[in-house]
């Protein structure tokens, strides 16, 4: 069983998300607990996304430690900003 964590930034985005988005994110958390290799690769095997309408859930995985961390949730339009922000952090 894998562990799923979230950043403080993600927690704030989650709290502000619509109910349907929150429900979808909870399902993705359940999927990640079973299989870290879900979602689309974003340049690196450890950086992935899942799509929900026009929004994307961005997360990092570590298969050796069986952990995933949810880092951001935003629109396709915000994707490049989110990726650049993660490089700086």
Break the chain into its structural domains and give their ranges: 3-88
pLDDT over 80 at 34, yes or no: yes
Distance between CA atoms of 40 and 62, rounded to whole angstroms? 15
Distance between CA atoms of 9 and 70, rounded to whole angstroms? 9
Query: How confident is residue 88, by pLDDT bands cut at 50, 70 and 90?
Result: very low
Q: Are the C-beta atoms of 59 and 48 separated by less than 8 Å? A: yes
Q: Are the C-beta atoms of 13 and 75 separated by less than 8 Å? A: no
Class of CATH domain 3-88: alpha beta
pTM of the model: 0.83
Task: Identify the residue with better confidence: 87 or 69.
Answer: 69
Sheet holding 44-52, edge to edge: 3-6, 67-75, 55-62, 44-52, 40-42
- pLDDT given at position 75: 80
- pLDDT given at position 74: 85
- pLDDT given at position 18: 94
Kindly report, residue by residue over 8-30, the tens digit of the pLDDT: 989 999 999 999 999 999 999 99
Task: Identify the residue with better confidence: 18 or 89.
Answer: 18
- pLDDT given at position 42: 85
């Amino acid at each position: 069983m894998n562990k799923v964590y979230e950043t403080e930034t993600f927690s704030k985005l989650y709290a502000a998300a619509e109910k349907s988005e929150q429900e979808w994110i909870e399902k993705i958390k359940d999927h990640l607990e079973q299989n870290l290799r879900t979602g689309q690769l974003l340049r690196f095997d450890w950086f992935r996304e899942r799509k929900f309408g026009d929004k994307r859930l961005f997360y990092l995985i570590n298969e050796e430690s069986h952990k995933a961390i949810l880092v951001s949730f935003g629109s396709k339009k915000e994707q490049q900003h989110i990726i650049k922000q993660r490089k700086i952090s």
